[in-house]
Amino acid sequence: MKLTGRQRAFLSQFLDLYREAREPLHYTTVAEHLGVSKITAYDMLRLLEERGLVECEYVLRGKGRGAGRSSIVFRPTPKAHALFAELAGEAADLEQWEAAKARILKALEAGKGGDYQDLLKEILDRLPERQSPLLYAAEMVTAVILSLQQLREDASASGLSERLRSLGLPEEVGLSALGGLAVGLSFAERANRRLINLLLSHVGRYQELISRLSAENLRRLADFTGEVMRILGA
């Protein structure tokens, strides 16, 4: 569900208030705690109600004089709680992604000009454990490019940069084609059979995950691929 940054922040604060109060909240109470006008709080709550994230009810106010007058209060729906649980999960995934991406790029920089065979083996060995689709795809991309890097001196692997760019890399259009390039590696005579067979065993899952990544994550993966190509001089 698409919410603006302002709507998301308001809903997050409203959820916090509701958890603290443990009861539905009047919009004037929300306005006071959030530091906004009563009109703004009311309009925002009504907007979130339209999105199915908030629901309202009418309750009787007070006792004695004025008793019997109804007042409108608001509570978050289960959909709102589920949305923020999902957003929290996405935030955790992104934190993991940034850390893992930095680790991979650092390892590539450290091995610059040398043999990446050990790093390639390490990546392929841990691929089955990767739960994050974005991280799995990033390590698969790295593994394919590293495999090609090992064959640079072979005549069949000359023009690595041109070959990768002809596929559309590092742009998003080339990410799907990379799986086919991995299959092509199986025909290279100098390739390490064990590592190539490991790589090929992951091509199917890679292609499936690529087709399901969000546009935002595809862009992250494309940017990462560009960094890998830059470091390896591809």
Q: How far apart are CA 26 and CA 44, in angstroms?
A: 13
Q: Confidence band (pLDDT; 50, 70, 90) for 141?
A: very high
Task: Return the higher-pLDDT residue of 75 and 167.
Answer: 75
pLDDT at site 64 = 46
pLDDT at site 133 = 85
pLDDT at 140 over 90: yes
pLDDT at site 86 = 65
Reply yes or no: is the peptide bond before residue 170 cis, omega within 30 of 0.
yes
* pTM of the predicted protein model: 0.58
Q: Is 26 helix (H, G, I), strand (E, B) or coil?
A: strand
All structural domains of the chain, each given as residue ranges with its CATH number in brackets, are 5-76 (1.10.10.10), 93-232 (no CATH)
Q: How far apart are CA 199 and CA 194, in angstroms?
A: 9
Residue 24 is given by DSSP the state -
Residue 3, classified by CB atoms within 10 Å of its CB into exposed (0-12), middle (13-18) or buried (19+), is: middle
Q: Is 222 helix (H, G, I), strand (E, B) or coil?
A: helix
What is the arithmetic mean of pLDDT over 29-52? 91
pLDDT at 201 over 70: yes
Tokens of residue 84, six digits: 């923020």
pLDDT at site 156 = 44
